[in-house]
Amino acid sequence: MSQGGYRRPHRWAWWMERPGYMRFMIRELTSFFMAGYLVVFLVTLSRVGAGDAAFAEWVGALSRPGWVAAHVVALLAAVWHAITFFGAVPQAMPIFLGEKRLSAPIAMIVMGYGPWLTVSAVVVWWMLR
């Protein structure tokens, strides 16, 4: 298989070339923030077991502006992850009713946003009730 001819140089800054690439990059970066959050979440869970005083101290630390800002960023990342993930559902998991394909918005609601809202409500209720 001859693959002769002129090869254009690698484009290292490829992700800046199209708006779609930038959106892709932002979506991928959510994983860094979510990974960071999960570690902090584990610290929180471990403080629960360390006794009321230790937990209260940790929660007090979490209310400092730096931690609040970090959590706002984490929240944006997690929400963006959810939106992009459910946005991909109609493409990745098409559902056919006979010859007809379930429309994208309905697929997203049924397999994405609906369960998401339900789970979120249950989690918040259960954890703080």
Confirm or reject binding of residue 110 to another protein (CB under 8 A).
Answer: no
Give the whole-angstrom CA distance, residue 35 versus residue 43: 13
d(CA 51, CA 117): 32
Strand intervals (E) in 31-121: 96-97, 100-101
Scan for tokens 């409500």, then name that residue. Answer: 121
User: Residue 105 interacts with another protein (CB under 8 A)?
Assistant: no
Query: Footprint of another protein on residues 64-103 (CB under 8 A)?
Result: 67-68, 70-72, 74-75, 78-79, 81-82, 85-86, 88, 90-94, 96, 98-101
Q: Which residues pair with 96 in a beta bridge?
A: 101
- 120 in helix, strand or coil? helix
Interaction between residue 9 and another protein (CB under 8 A): no
Please pick, from the candidates 16, 106, 110, 123, the single residue that binds another protein as defined by CB under 8 A: 123
3-state secondary structure of 102: coil
Smallest gap from Cβ 60 to another protein, in A, equals: 8
Closer to another protein by Cβ: residue 88 or 110: 88
CA-to-CA separations, 82 to 4, 85, 88, in angstroms, rounded: 44, 5, 10
Binding-residue pattern over the window 31 to 60 for another protein, x denoting contact by CB under 8 A: xx-xx-xxxxxxxxxxxxxx-x--xx--xx
Q: How far is the CB of 103 from another protein (least distance, A)?
A: 14
**Total interface residues for another protein by CB under 8 A:** 81
